[in-house]
Amino acid sequence: MARTKLEINRPILGESVDEFLARGIVQDAESKSEFRPQEGDSLGEYLVRLRMASGATPEAVEDYLGGFPATVALTRAELAQLESGSLGFVNEQRLRVLAALYGVPQDWVLQVAQYHVEHYTSPLPATDNAYGLMTARALRMDALDPEARQTLEKIFSEIVDAVQNPSSNLPPET
């Protein structure tokens, strides 16, 4: 199944942070469910995944948030540091603004940042984050019997192929 793209919710010229946050509250989380946090997500990994799913560049994020106060706005360099795991630029309002910008429920981003949220959302199984990668690497393939190892390698290959070539796995149109 090919991933859908997140639509950027751009701030309106002259809009206050509170107005933007109110407008950014996503009512239909079901349509965004594939962008829920994943098991083991770090805040940086999750924010990168959301930004990439939206198609926004760091420059675009800087431009979109540039009209907001410094407590919320992010430069490209600050966004890069935040996405690489630095917590120096984390505050609740900034995380809410990023969630509103990317069009996902604010609670999801806050949950990954380990803030208390009113509605906890169970994370998706890890697929494209460091936790998932470490889990896969921890599986001792050499400890398995040859038949089980061959079956797992076939399954992993099919998964990788499906992720790398999503259009080739679609049924033919009639």
Q: Which residues touch 15 (CB under 8 Å, ≥6 apart)?
A: 23, 67
List pLDDT tens digits, range 70-84: 999 999 999 999 998
Structural domain spans, the chain? 17-112, 139-169
**Does residue 144 carry a pLDDT above 50?**
yes
Token representation of residue 28: 């239909």
3-state DSSP call for residue 125? Answer: coil
At residue 102, what is the residue type? Y
For residues 89, 90, 92, 95, the Cα torsion angle rounded to the nearest 10 degrees is 90
List pLDDT tens digits, range 16-59: 999 999 998 865 677 788 888 988 889 999 999 999 999 999 99
For residue 76, what is the enclosing H or E element?
helix 76-83
Among the residue ranges 108-117, 150-159, 163-172, the one predicted with the least confidence is 163-172
Token representation of residue 56: 């926004």
Q: In CATH, which of 1.10.3720.10, 3.40.50.2300, 1.20.1730.10, 1.10.260.40 is domain 17-112?
A: 1.10.260.40
